[in-house]
Structure 1
Amino acid sequence: MKELGIGIGWRPEIADAVEALDGVEWVEVVAENLCDGHLPGSLERLRARGVTVVPHGVSLGLGGAARPDPGRLAALARKAELLGAPLVTEHIAFVRAGGPLTASPSLEAGHLLPVPRTRDALDVLCENVRIAQEALPVPLALENIAALVSWPDEELSEGRFLAELVERTGVRLLIDVANLHTNRVNRGEDPARALAELPVEAIAYVHVAGGVERDGVWHDTHAHPVTRPVLDVLAELASRVSPPGVLLERDDNFPAPAELAAELDAIRGTLAAARPRPLLIGAGARVSGGAMPARPTAPAARGTRVPAPRSPAREPEQHTDPGTDPGTAPAGARQRVGLAQAALLSALVAGTPAPEGFDARRLGVQSRSLAAKRADIVAKVAPELPEILGAGYRPAFLAYARHRPMSDGYRHDALDFVEGLLVAGRPADPAARRALTAWWRERAGIRPPGPAARLAHRVRTALGRGVTAP
Structure 2
Amino acid sequence: MERLGTGIGWRPEIAEAVERMPGIDWVEVVAENVCPGHLPGSLERLRERGVTVVPHGVSLGLGGADRPDPHRLTALAERAEALGAPLVTEHIAFVRAGGELTASPRLEAGHLLPVPRTRDALAVLCENVRIAQDALPVPLAVENIAALISWPGEELTEGQFLYELADRTGVRLLIDVANLHTNHVNRGEDPAKALADLPVEALAYVHVAGGVERDGVWHDSHAHPVPRPVLDILTDLASRTSPPGVLLERDDNFPEPSELERELASIRDAVERGRAAASGVSGTPGATAPAPAPSPAPAPVPDATRARLALAQTALLSALIAGTPVPEGFDRARLTVQARALAAKRADVVAKVAPELLDILGDAYRPAFLAYAQHHPMPGGYRRDALDFAGSLLHTGAVADVRARRALRVWWLDRSGPRPRAHRPTVRLARATRRVLLRR
CA distance in 1, matches of 2:115, 2:53: 28
Q: What percentage of aligned pairs have identical amino acids?
A: 72
Q: Is the 8 A contact 1:130 1:327 kept in 2?
A: no
Alignment pair present for 1:441 and 2:410: no
**What is the TM-score normalised by the length of structure 1?**
0.87
Relative to structure 1, the CA distance from residue 122 to residue 278 in structure 2 (aligned partners, 3 Å threshold; closer, same or farther) is farther
CA distance in 1, matches of 2:280, 2:340: 43
Q: Which runs of 5+ in 2 are unaligned?
A: 433-440
Deviation at 1:445, TM superposition (A): 1.3
Deviation at 1:249, TM superposition (A): 0.2
* Matched residue type, 1:38: H
Q: Deviations over 1:321-375 (max 9, x none)?
A: xxx9427323411000000000000000001011000001100000000000010
Alignment pair present for 1:289 and 2:253: no
Which residue of structure 2 aligns with residue 141 of structure 1?
A: 141
CA distance in 1, matches of 2:346, 2:416: 20
Which residue of structure 1 aligns with residue 245 of structure 2?
A: 245
Alignment of 1:49-198 (within 5 A): 49-198=49-198
Which residue of structure 2 aligns with residue 302 of structure 1?
A: none
* Matched residue type, 2:40: P
What SS is found at the alignment partner of 1:437?
helix
* Matched residue type, 2:292: P
CA distance in 2, matches of 1:17, 1:82: 23
1:364 to 317, 321, 336: 336
Q: Is the 8 A contact 1:110 1:370 kept in 2?
A: yes
What SS is found at the alignment partner of 2:240?
coil
Q: Deviations over 1:130-160 (max 9, x none)?
A: 0000000000000000000000000000000
CA distance in 1, matches of 2:141, 2:280: 24
Which residue of structure 2 aligns with residue 389 of structure 1?
A: 361
Which residue of structure 2 aligns with residue 214 of structure 1?
A: 214
Relative to structure 1, the CA distance from residue 454 to residue 266 in structure 2 (aligned partners, 3 Å threshold; closer, same or farther) is closer
* Matched residue type, 1:309: P
Relative to structure 1, the CA distance from residue 133 to residue 447 in structure 2 (aligned partners, 3 Å threshold; closer, same or farther) is closer
Which residue of structure 1 aligns with residue 324 of structure 2?
A: 352
Q: Is the 8 A contact 1:123 1:330 kept in 2?
A: no
Q: Is the 8 A contact 1:204 1:243 kept in 2?
A: yes
CA distance in 1, matches of 2:195, 2:300: 27
What SS is found at the alignment partner of 1:357?
coil
* Matched residue type, 1:176: D
CA distance in 2, matches of 1:223, 1:178: 12
Q: Deviations over 1:1-29 (max 9, x none)?
A: 21000000000000011001110000000
What SS is found at the alignment partner of 2:390?
helix
CA distance in 2, matches of 1:309, 1:110: 33
Q: Is the 8 A contact 2:117 2:156 kept in 1?
A: yes
Relative to structure 1, the CA distance from residue 289 to residue 138 in structure 2 (aligned partners, 3 Å threshold; closer, same or farther) is same
2:298 to 326, 344, 349: 326
Q: Higher mean Cα deviation, 417-426 or 165-174?
A: 417-426
1:409 to 348, 359, 381: 381
Q: Is the 8 A contact 2:200 2:288 kept in 1?
A: no
Q: Which runs of 5+ in 1 are unaligned?
A: 281-285, 296-307, 312-317, 319-323, 461-470
Q: Is the 8 A contact 1:178 1:208 kept in 2?
A: yes
Q: Is the 8 A contact 2:416 2:430 kept in 1?
A: no
Deviation at 1:430, TM superposition (A): 1.4
Q: Is the 8 A contact 1:117 1:157 kept in 2?
A: yes
Q: Deviations over 1:278-308 (max 9, x none)?
A: 899xxxxx99622222x3xxxxxxxxxxxx2
CA distance in 1, matches of 2:312, 2:200: 30
What SS is found at the alignment partner of 2:389?
helix
Structure number with the higher helix fraction is 2
Q: Is the 8 A contact 2:130 2:169 kept in 1?
A: yes
CA distance in 1, matches of 2:280, 2:314: 42
* Matched residue type, 1:97: A
Which residue of structure 2 aligns with residue 277 of structure 1?
A: 278
CA distance in 2, matches of 1:331, 1:73: 21
Relative to structure 1, the CA distance from residue 118 to residue 168 in structure 2 (aligned partners, 3 Å threshold; closer, same or farther) is same
Q: Is the 8 A contact 1:57 1:90 kept in 2?
A: yes
CA distance in 2, matches of 1:447, 1:153: 46
Q: Is the 8 A contact 2:391 2:430 kept in 1?
A: no
Which residue of structure 2 aligns with residue 27 of structure 1?
A: 27
Deviation at 1:218, TM superposition (A): 0.2
Alignment of 1:412-431 (within 5 A): 412-431=384-403
Q: Deviations over 1:239-277 (max 9, x none)?
A: 100100000000000000000000000001111111263
CA distance in 1, matches of 2:427, 2:103: 26
Count of residues in Structure 1 that have an aligned counterpart in Structure 2 = 427
Deviation at 1:36, TM superposition (A): 2.6
Q: Deviations over 1:210-259 (max 9, x none)?
A: 00000000000000000001001101101100100000000000000000
Which residue of structure 1 aligns with residue 292 of structure 2?
A: 309
Alignment RMSD (CA, Å): 2.4
Q: Is the 8 A contact 1:240 1:278 kept in 2?
A: no
* Matched residue type, 2:271: L
**What is the TM-score normalised by the length of structure 2?**
0.93
* Matched residue type, 2:164: E
CA distance in 1, matches of 2:371, 2:73: 34
Relative to structure 1, the CA distance from residue 287 to residue 423 in structure 2 (aligned partners, 3 Å threshold; closer, same or farther) is farther
